[in-house]
Structure 1
Amino acid sequence: MTEPHLFTASQYQSICNSLPDPTFILTESGRYVAILGGKDKRYYHDGSSLLGKRVSDVLTANKAQWFVQKIQDAIASQKMLVVEYELSASDVLGLTADGPVEPIWFEGRISALEQPYCDEKAVVWVASNITANKRMQQLLQRQAMSDELTGLYNRRRLMQVLEQAYIDFKKHAKPASLLSFDVDNFKAINDGLGHPAGDQALLELANAVRKLASPGDCVCRLGGDEFSILCQGRTMSDITAFASQLLQTGREVLQPYATQGSMPGLSLGIAHFCPEDTSMEAIMRRADQALYLSKTQGGHQMNVTDGCGKTAAASVKNMPSAS
């Protein structure tokens, strides 16, 4: 039987230094005592300058504290700890202007070492660059939550945000309102001008609504010509003024798509979150009921429902002008 080959110390050193991912030996206080590998220059820079330094010398206070905590967690558990983390230019102290513009994502695999280094307990920390996979994952998530035509959020994303808004309202009384609207006479656009024109009308409307909405609003296309906007932390009077702007803007954007005998506009329903609401589905039903009422009353107007299902209607000409 052939004896296994025994590597010399220099061969072991060469093997360790040839590892593609950087491998750090870090003490429990966050000191870099050895750095091995990192030979894949597509993703890593030379880290030899870190030797003898502490993570607090290299990273901002919050980031350095996070690293030290993970080191201590691995030592305490005596099990391999796997973490994902990002490092951006703002996290690194003294970074030159040629540093990375986009955040870089890593997967860290951290294991406690049996022997101390520099009289401290220590870990081996293998850092693998997972930026490409992370960005692809984020892209797929955005696509899963976005409407293909308009780029707005889709129904799946609305349901997520609406659920959290309902929880925030019930627990902390954080005000919120759901606005539902669709395009009056949209079928006439498709029938008279063609479906490409209908798609272009929806795209222009979506862009206008996106500009009109506040940064914290969740603007969604549910499908076809149906849209919803979830607004949080805004007063009822602010929502009313916003709805007025929305109706006016919708009429202006859609005017070029008018066909003989029909003028496109918006019908809108608003449901303010109320203590009487027992579920987010109840809020959605109230918004849809108010929208339907606006539709049956001729369109180009809004209706608002309270928690008891009572409605109040207003056309654009009766609402406060948007200033």
Structure 2
Amino acid sequence: MAAPLSIEIPKTPVAYFVPAEAERLGSAIGELRRTLGEHAYLVLASDKLSPAWIQRAITLGADDVVDPTSAEDVAICLARTSRAIERARGAQTEQACLAMERDYLQACIDNLPAPIFFKNSEGIYVGCNGAFAEFIGSPPEGVIGRSVYDVAPEALAQRYQAADDELLERGGTQVYESEVCHSGGTRRHVMFHKAAIKGGDGRVRGIAGAILDITERKTLEARLTEAAERDPLTNAYNRRKFFDLAEQMVQQARDDDKTLAVAVIDVDHFKLINDRLGHAEGDNALRMIAGTLEKTVGKGNVIARAGGEEFYALFIDGSINEAKQTADRMRMEVERICQATALSALAGTVSIGLAAFRPREENLDEALKRADDALYRAKNSGRNRLCVAA
């Protein structure tokens, strides 16, 4: 009887008798094993094999060797075969149960909206849900068996891998914020929740992770931060933000023993704009002037609306002469921009008081007071000019 092309474990054991030539016994055993697979229990029946050949037959792939002329030997072989078949059947049942549990688990996580993934200790994806595949724009089969470097841009992949390495090293859980390249081509802000997976021996075998998309929350936070820092009318920094930034800049200048300069800027004849053109036009004037000041204040310097029609400016990394040149350029640019509007007949200029100060010798409030005194001199001298404090 010829051997079948393949075999599955039947409910009732089936025996196949396949003749084999002694001259090519080794290749015959190998061919049978390759054909039948590991489920078959391969018994070599011969009464002419030496102990050396019996050992060789086992090495080549036979499960057992029996002398067919010995009833006792055949009985013992049948008992071993029966136990092997039962073990194989039990293993097959267990594998079927595991497959069912795996399918159930996959169905469960596929119905969760949060992207979920699993990696082994080598950083290779061994599982994910549909939400994760959809999130990164790759089908599950394009994720499984790959590393993070295959599914994410290199810069982001390096960040993820560093976090994974740290988690695999110490175990436990890990929560952190990062960016993810979404399938739509946009960057999304996310929060990773990861946990090290331990085996029965207590050793870390991999990582389970979930992704929470927090883009909308981060956008709202940015808007709230901007609302807290910006003047709602002009969109310039507000007074509180000015002093927050100034505190950092003053501390740095104090550490480096550098000189700073501070300016107080006031719109000339602003009351006339409100009285003759209306408050709406006055608001437009403030927005236009604030935008002009912000464009011309210079990189690294700070401009903010102090209140009403008054602004503060702080100049870093320069002498008083450089600060004076920048401040006067701001004044002239405001005048130039306003010349093209109805403001030119009423106002459309600013007066500026400027004061240099050394943070190791004087605080910001004292410097602002001297700049404010210089502003009043500019106002009393005819407006649309800059005065430097002594």
Would you call these one fold, judging by a TM-score over 0.5?
yes
**In 2: Cα distance, 1:54 partner to 1:172 partner:** 47
**In 1: Cα distance, 2:386 partner to 2:130 partner:** 64
User: Is 1:211 aligned to 2:304, yes or no?
Assistant: no
Aligned residues: 286
What is the DSSP-based 3-state SS (H/G/I as helix, E as strand, rest coil) of the residue aligned with 1:82? strand
Give the counterpart letter for 2:144 in structure 1. Answer: L
User: Is 1:268 aligned to 2:352, yes or no?
Assistant: yes
Deviations 1:207-256 (A, max 9, x none): 22233233433332222101122333345443222212112122333453
Tell me which of 15, 23, 26 is aligned to 2:119.
Answer: 26
**In 2: Cα distance, 1:20 partner to 1:198 partner:** 51
Tell me which of 221, 232, 247 is aligned to 1:163.
Answer: 247
Give how far 1:298 is off: 3.4
Gaps of 5+ in 1: 1-6, 90-97, 306-310, 312-323
**In 1: Cα distance, 2:205 partner to 2:357 partner:** 54
The residue aligned with 1:244 is: 328
Tell me which of 257, 261, 264 is aligned to 2:343.
Answer: 257
Contact 2:258 2:358 in 1 (8 A): no
The residue aligned with 1:72 is: 165
Give the counterpart letter for 1:302 in structure 2. Answer: L
Deviations 1:138-195 (A, max 9, x none): 1221122111112222112212211111122122356643322011211122122221
**In 2: Cα distance, 1:285 partner to 1:87 partner:** 49
Give the counterpart letter for 2:292 in structure 1. Answer: A
User: For the structure 1 residues 190 and 62, does the alpha-carbon distance in structure 2 shift closer, same or farther, using more than 3 Å as the test?
Assistant: same
The answer to which structure has the higher helix fraction is 2
The residue aligned with 1:100 is: 185
TM-score in terms of structure 2 length: 0.64
**In 2: Cα distance, 1:187 partner to 1:235 partner:** 34
Deviations 1:23-42 (A, max 9, x none): 1223455332322341796x
User: Is 1:179 aligned to 2:263, yes or no?
Assistant: yes
The residue aligned with 1:86 is: 179
The residue aligned with 1:56 is: 149
User: For the structure 1 residues 131 and 193, does the alpha-carbon distance in structure 2 shift closer, same or farther, using more than 3 Å as the test?
Assistant: same
TM-score in terms of structure 1 length: 0.76
Q: Which has the larger radius of gyration?
A: 2
Tell me which of 144, 153, 158 is aligned to 2:228.
Answer: 144
User: For the structure 1 residues 81 and 279, does the alpha-carbon distance in structure 2 shift closer, same or farther, using more than 3 Å as the test?
Assistant: farther
Deviations 1:287-309 (A, max 9, x none): 3333233234332222234xxxx
**In 1: Cα distance, 2:205 partner to 2:254 partner:** 47
- Higher RCO (CA < 8 A, seq sep 6+): 1
**In 2: Cα distance, 1:51 partner to 1:172 partner:** 54
Deviations 1:41-94 (A, max 9, x none): 6x56345223222223444554333222322333455443221112358xxxxx
The residue aligned with 2:206 is: 122
User: For the structure 1 residues 180 and 86, does the alpha-carbon distance in structure 2 shift closer, same or farther, using more than 3 Å as the test?
Assistant: farther
Give the counterpart letter for 1:226 in structure 2. Answer: E
User: Is 1:221 aligned to 2:294, yes or no?
Assistant: no
User: For the structure 1 residues 143 and 240, does the alpha-carbon distance in structure 2 shift closer, same or farther, using more than 3 Å as the test?
Assistant: same
The residue aligned with 1:3 is: none
**In 2: Cα distance, 1:46 partner to 1:248 partner:** 57
The residue aligned with 2:14 is: none
User: For the structure 1 residues 160 and 29, does the alpha-carbon distance in structure 2 shift closer, same or farther, using more than 3 Å as the test?
Assistant: farther
Gaps of 5+ in 2: 1-99
The residue aligned with 1:94 is: none
**In 2: Cα distance, 1:247 partner to 1:301 partner:** 7
Amino-acid identity (%): 26
**In 1: Cα distance, 2:165 partner to 2:331 partner:** 57
The residue aligned with 1:109 is: 193
Give the counterpart letter for 1:85 in structure 2. Answer: S
What is the DSSP-based 3-state SS (H/G/I as helix, E as strand, rest coil) of the residue aligned with 1:113? strand
More displaced stretch, 215-224 vs 183-192: 215-224
**In 1: Cα distance, 2:256 partner to 2:144 partner:** 49
User: Is 1:289 aligned to 2:373, yes or no?
Assistant: yes
**In 1: Cα distance, 2:123 partner to 2:262 partner:** 49
User: For the structure 1 residues 136 and 288, does the alpha-carbon distance in structure 2 shift closer, same or farther, using more than 3 Å as the test?
Assistant: same
More displaced stretch, 146-155 vs 175-184: 175-184
Contact 1:169 1:273 in 2 (8 A): no
**In 1: Cα distance, 2:124 partner to 2:263 partner:** 54
The residue aligned with 2:280 is: 196
User: For the structure 1 residues 52 and 227, does the alpha-carbon distance in structure 2 shift closer, same or farther, using more than 3 Å as the test?
Assistant: same
